[in-house]
Chains A and B, each alone.
Chain A
Amino acid sequence: MVVALNSVHWPVATVTPLFMSSIQTDEPRTALVAMHKISKAYPGCLANDAVNLMIHQGQIHALLGENGAGKSTLVKILYGLLQADSGYVEWQGARVSISSPAVARELGIALVFQHFSLFESLSVLENIALGMAVPATQNLKQNIIDVSQRYGLPLDPDRQVYTLSVGERQRIEIVRCLLQEPKLLIMDEPTSVLTPQEVNDLFVTLKRLASEGVAILYISHKLNEIKALCSEATILRGGKHVATADPQQRSTHELASLMMGDELLIPQRQEHAIEDSVLLQLNNVSRTTSEQHGVPLHNIELQVHAGEIVGIAGVAGNGQDELLQVISGEHRSSDADSVSINGEGVGVLAPGARRELGLCCVPEERLGHAAVPSMSLVENAFLTAHHRIPMRTAGLFSLKKSARFAEKVIEQFNVQCNGSGAVASSLSGGNLQKFIVGREIEQQPLVFVVSQPTWGVDAGAASAIHTALQQMASRGAAVLVISQDIDELMLISHRIAALCAGRLSNTYSTTSVSVQEVGVLMGGGSIADGAVA
């Protein structure tokens, strides 16, 4: 992502006092790790510009910043995956050169990646053994089971990784790090795949680790989590260190505006008359899966009306992927009426035919599923939009027409990229997600189904996506949002249900259930029927 440094306004005057927390309250003890004046440039982009970061033993330290702010680069330098162009790192007061992750691990640094580096064809146990460079023994297996139980991260060591959902894969990473008994644990957006109860459990775990003396560098864009957990926050914007603040003393809004540089638009749930017509109907959808550990779906019933946003909560790996495939047509049923769009049974139709009828879907995985990583944005626009947008001339692909559509999406959704010719993999996660969601929304679908719309997306992009979903519903489309982010669902959806082990709960009006109650549904429990909507 290209960051236009000169166009960013730096509110220097408001930032200066914030440095006090690290300067004035600094205790005489040496920091566990101190990064000094770290700079790192990529072609066309200064990812880190003289960034300082200091973490003390037993401290939970937040690293805040939008996508492209340079958080990942800084973390990669700390973990030895990248080398800084200038600046240096001190570990317990001594200058170190972290030339590789092995060196970092040797020092006691562990990293839970946002994008997981796992071998798909190996088992959980083998992956953990590989990551720790130890043999995959029964002993290790028992350790995995112990740690995963102790920290509430259920994990079967013998399962093959390719059968696991995103959420389960993250658990492997967390468990792997905890097994190393690190001195510094870096967590990159760890809670996006957890239920509220699990988040609480994780926080308990993290606080326990901190009290045992482990320092934690916590990267997240969820400001309320940072307020609940962290005692100090380093805020990056556009590659620069803009502030070190105490999250306990700053309001969420202040933190957000430090991070974003301008006022944050927070969408409000829109209340409006929901029309009676059912645009998407799932009628007793069941499916078995051929994959060894796929989740079968059981008798799913769901109706989404025109003008309505329905949310489906649930922890990853409870049938979300399978459900989306049934709706999108990637998995077809022999019963035409199992899925209906605007009253028409489409269960046997292929994805293209369903799109022509007005159903657009966005799967969870951005690279490789929703978009082709090595293809340009123009080609990625053509990928799904050619059914509903004229993009061909005499049957042949028209670069001009496709580029026009891609550029419209880029403009409408403020996608930061190097033009419509940029390849999808060159975009940051948030910008690619904006492009993908925008690509489907600009097709003016009648029914829009999106899975994890804001996973790993920064706050600015997330609010833009939420606003776009609401606008689409207010135009009369039916919107179904499958998400693990319960706050997001409570914020934007009118009705909510939860998916657990391939079964869908009743749907409830979001105004009549609490986050805790939805959490119960996500765990497969039931709540009083009074609120059924």
Chain B
Amino acid sequence: MISLQPRQQPSKLMGLLAPLLALLLTVLAGLVLFALLGVPVGQGFYAFFIEPVSSVYGLSELGVKAAPLIMIAVALSVGYRSNVWNIGAEGQLILGGICGGAVALYFYEVDAWYVLPLMMLSGVLGGMLWAAIPALLRTRFNANEILTSLMLTYIAALLLSLLVHGPLRDPDGFNFPESRLFHAAATLPNIMQGTRLHIGALVALLLVVVTWVLLSRTLLGFALKVNGQAPRAGQYAGFTQNRLIWFSLLYCGACAGLAGLFEVAGPIGQLLPTISPGYGFTAIIVAFLGRLHPVGVVFAGLVMALSYLGGESAQISLNLPVAVTGVFQGMLLFFLLAADVLIHYRLVWRRTGVAA
């Protein structure tokens, strides 16, 4: 019989190495998977991990995918540090896209400097509004935010679908469920010629720095961490738990909403029935892979962005199904969680029965 025994002292070094180990195991397992699917292992490895980032354009695409992941994951990690388990960032992202996109459509063809800032503000508020619902339910009725935030994600997706099939549909679009293409003043400026890399990447890095300072140096960040690790100690110190719950959710809503707006105003350029390939969910993996640390999240975000690009590349050059992205993300999370368990526990093979 195998049992898990807590370790006397979990290794700090292994805590930091675990994500790398998980990554390595994911690659190895991926190669085994390729071999089982009859894809030459070397070719599969190249197509998934090397080809997507072997050109400047490829690297810029990595930034395009990593930006929303990092923006959301960095905000999620604030909540997770504080025991606020918001897993509805995807819905908050969609609401940000809807609200920001609606502003763009309202000011259609208005060529003014204020359009883009208004869209951003609207996107942020949209995300916050969606996050405020689980915050209210949790603080007023003690409803578990894991359930409420997740359920709200599906409502958000249906709401977007409703809108692009109805009021926000392009009047000249032959009844396709999509909005007008945003005009130039409502589109994000590119920061690199000939690519889709937009200012969202810079905003993501700014959020990383801001969150880092927040968590490591401010009283609010300290209160969030204390609340996560020992809520009663937080009360004793005088931190108000409900305020921390509100902050965690609203901060994440704001970041996710902004990320959603950046998607519709950047790479997509219009509202579609689907505006995110699950960034809000993938960001949960990114947050944990990055050890809930803002700097770790940057690296983790890049890794997970590669899984999207690698998945696309594997579809094109290897004829593999799109599910390969999800498989890689899932394996990575699985190996990370397994590594974390083994950091805190060790496996013990035990004889059954009583020794005399």
Contact = CB atoms under 8 A, between A and B. Distances in A.
22 contacts: A43-B9, A103-B355, A328-B236, A329-B238, A330-B235, A351-B236, A351-B238, A361-B236, A367-B230, A368-B230, A369-B230, A370-B233, A372-B226, A372-B230, A373-B230, A383-B237, A396-B213, A396-B217, A396-B218, A397-B216, A397-B217, A397-B218
Contacts of B8: 42-43
Contact of A373 (B225, B229, B355): B229
B175 interface: no
A350 interface: yes
A435 interface: no
B219 interface: yes
A515 interface: no
Interface of B is mostly: helix
Interface in A350-378: 350-353, 355, 361, 363, 365, 367-375
Contact of B233 (A102, A350, A353, A369): A369
B2 to A, nearest CB: 15
Nearest to B218: A396
Contacts of A330: 235-236
B236 A370 contact: yes
Contacts of B222: 379, 382-383, 397
A517 to B, nearest CB: 34
B225 to A, nearest CB: 8
Contacts of A351: 235-238
B356 A383 contact: no
A356 to B, nearest CB: 10
Interface string A382-402: 111010000010011100000
A330 B237 CA distance: 9
A103 B218 CA distance: 51
B265 to A, nearest CB: 34
A97 B353 CA distance: 13
A310 B108 CA distance: 74
Given A102-B354, A103-B354, A386 B219 contact: yes
A180 interface: no
A99 B350 CA distance: 10
Interface string B151-178: 0000000000000000000000000000
A531 interface: no
A122 B226 CA distance: 27
A517 B119 CA distance: 74
B240 interface: yes
Nearest to A94: B356
B149 to A, nearest CB: 24
Contacts of B225: 375
Contacts of A369: 230, 232-233, 236
B229 A374 contact: yes
B241 to A, nearest CB: 11
B219 A397 contact: yes
B109 to A, nearest CB: 45
A335 interface: no
Nearest to A354: B238
Cβ-closest 10 pairs across A and B: A351-B238, A352-B238, A396-B217, A372-B230, A369-B232, A368-B230, A397-B217, A372-B233, A383-B237, A350-B238
A516 B233 CA distance: 36
A344 interface: no
Given A99-B355, A355-B238, A373-B230, 20 more contacts: A42-B8, A43-B9, A96-B355, A350-B240, A351-B235, A351-B237, A353-B238, A361-B236, A367-B230, A372-B229, A375-B225, A383-B226, A383-B233, A383-B237, A384-B236, A386-B219, A392-B219, A395-B219, A397-B219, A397-B222
Contacts of A367: 230
Given A42-B8, A370-B236, A397-B222, A106 B354 contact: yes
A378 to B, nearest CB: 11
A81 B246 CA distance: 43
Interface residues of B, number: 22
Contacts of A379: 222
Nearest to A363: B236
A176 to B, nearest CB: 20
A289 B356 CA distance: 51
Contacts of B354: 102-103, 106
Contacts of A355: 238
Contact of A365 (B213, B229, B232): B232
A97 B217 CA distance: 51
A368 B216 contact: no
Contacts of A42: 8
A179 B240 CA distance: 43
B238 A371 contact: no
Interface in A244-276: none
A313 to B, nearest CB: 23
A245 to B, nearest CB: 32
Given A329-B238, A372-B226, A396-B217, A97 B233 contact: no
Interface string B110-129: 00000000000000000000
B83 to A, nearest CB: 13
Contacts of A99: 355
A451 to B, nearest CB: 11
Contacts of A329: 238
A232 B218 CA distance: 56
Interface string A76-107: 00000000000000000000110100110010
Contacts of B230: 367-369, 371-374
A371 B225 CA distance: 13
Nearest to A330: B235
Contact of A375 (B226, B238, B355): B226
A341 to B, nearest CB: 15
A464 to B, nearest CB: 23
A401 B191 CA distance: 42
A99 B216 CA distance: 44
Contacts of B238: 329, 350-353, 355
Nearest to B221: A397
B350 to A, nearest CB: 8
A374 B9 CA distance: 12
A168 B238 CA distance: 28
A374 B15 CA distance: 14
A96 B8 CA distance: 25
B218 A395 contact: yes
Contacts of A43: 8-9
Nearest to A328: B236
B232 A384 contact: no
Contacts of B233: 368-372, 383
B341 to A, nearest CB: 18
A102 B352 CA distance: 11
B187 to A, nearest CB: 38
Contact of B356 (A96, A365, A370, A372): A96
Name which of B218, B230, B236 has the most chain A CB atoms within 10 A of its CB.
B236
Contacts of A370: 233, 236
Interface in A385-437: 386, 392, 395-397
A405 to B, nearest CB: 15
A367 B232 CA distance: 10
A363 B230 CA distance: 14
Contacts of B216: 397
Contacts of B237: 351-352, 383-384
Contacts of B219: 386, 392, 395, 397
Contacts of A383: 222, 226, 233, 237
Given A330-B236, A365-B232, A386-B219, A97 B226 contact: no
